[in-house]
Amino acid sequence: MKNWNCFLNIDRNISQHLGVMILLLLFTAAGCSSDEASSEASGGESDQQEQKSPTGQSQINTLTSEEQQEGWVLLFDGKTTDGWRGVYKENFPEKGWKVEDGLLKVVASGGGEAEFGGDIITENQYSDFEFSLEFKLTEGANSGIKYFVKEIYPEPEGSAVGLEYQLIDDSRPDVEGTWTLASVYELYRAENKEVNPIGEFNKARIVAEGDHVEHWLNGKKVVEYTRGSEEFRNLVAESKYSEHENFGEASEGHILLQDHGHEVAFRNIKIREIDSGESQ
């Protein structure tokens, strides 16, 4: 009996050890599952943040150290309208535009061109530059980024005159040819575009060095042309701009964001002036 009790005690000890080991294995497995779930959740959040900005920036309306070294300057800080004013005005419009959640927004007003808040322009003028922003269109929206804009008097009917990077919902039935998204409005049609859906941000980029101009959309060049070339002047002559002498050939000008009566949101608005002769 003594030996048998000994065996029973040993068996009990083994059972206890096995029970502890099983519990440890269960806790370890649960911990791994928790870590994996946490990792997946974290990864999903990271993906969502990445989707928020076509530039890949985790912070909106800021410049990276690399961008600062390259000479980029923010034209919108996400909080104020400093650096902008109404076209043909001394101050920023009192209505029609708003700053909300880090976005500069056109307020929807029925689709009229420059009829509510009106267009806004940079206080400064630029000649050789690289300009970019992110924009989010609403369904059916129309807007635009104009550059080499000059305020001429008497004021022209509608918007101020300048070359235009077209911002528009391409699904509109009245949109085709040179009126489409990222085109040079009225002059050159954007080709080979990759467009994010309405309600998501897209990135527009304009490069102007001398007479050479490029339009980019979401990291892809979609238009390239030369201001003042024979082709350019022929296209101008056949467009609505034919009455404007030397249209699009100013050596410098303002950058304009258009109020066309539809809600459009802008962010990460920035510019880098290019030194004369700098290669792209």
Q: Helix, strand, or coil here: 54? A: coil
For 16, the token pair is: 């206890």
pLDDT beyond 70 at 226: yes
**Bridge partner residues of 103 (DSSP):** 100
What tokens appear for 6 in the block? 């000994």
What pLDDT does residue 58 have? 63
Task: Find out whether 122 and 253 touch, Cβ atoms under 8 Å.
Answer: no
Are 183 and 166 in contact by the 8 Å Cβ rule? The answer is yes
DSSP state for residue 249 in the 8-state scheme: -
pTM: predicted TM-score of the whole model, two decimal places: 0.78
Q: Which residues does 182 contact at the CB level (< 8 Å), separation at least 6?
A: 165, 166, 190, 193, 204, 215, 216, 217, 222, 223
What is the token pair recorded at 145?
């980024």
**Which class for 46: exposed (0-12), middle (13-18), buried (19 or more C-beta within 10 A)?**
exposed
Write down the pLDDT at residue 158.
60
pLDDT band at 218 (very low <50, low <70, confident <90, very high): very high
* pLDDT greater than 80 at residue 18: no
- d(CA 242, CA 64) in angstroms, rounded, equals 42
Domain-wise residue ranges, the chain? 1-52, 65-273
Q: How far apart, in whole angstroms, are the C-alpha atoms of residue 106 and residue 86? A: 13
Fold of the domain built from segment(s) 65-273: Jelly Rolls (2.60.120)
Residue with tokens 């970019």: 132
What tens digit of pLDDT does each residue of 160-214 get?
A: 899 999 999 999 999 999 999 999 999 999 999 999 999 999 999 999 999 999 9
Q: What's the token pair of residue 142?
A: 């129309």
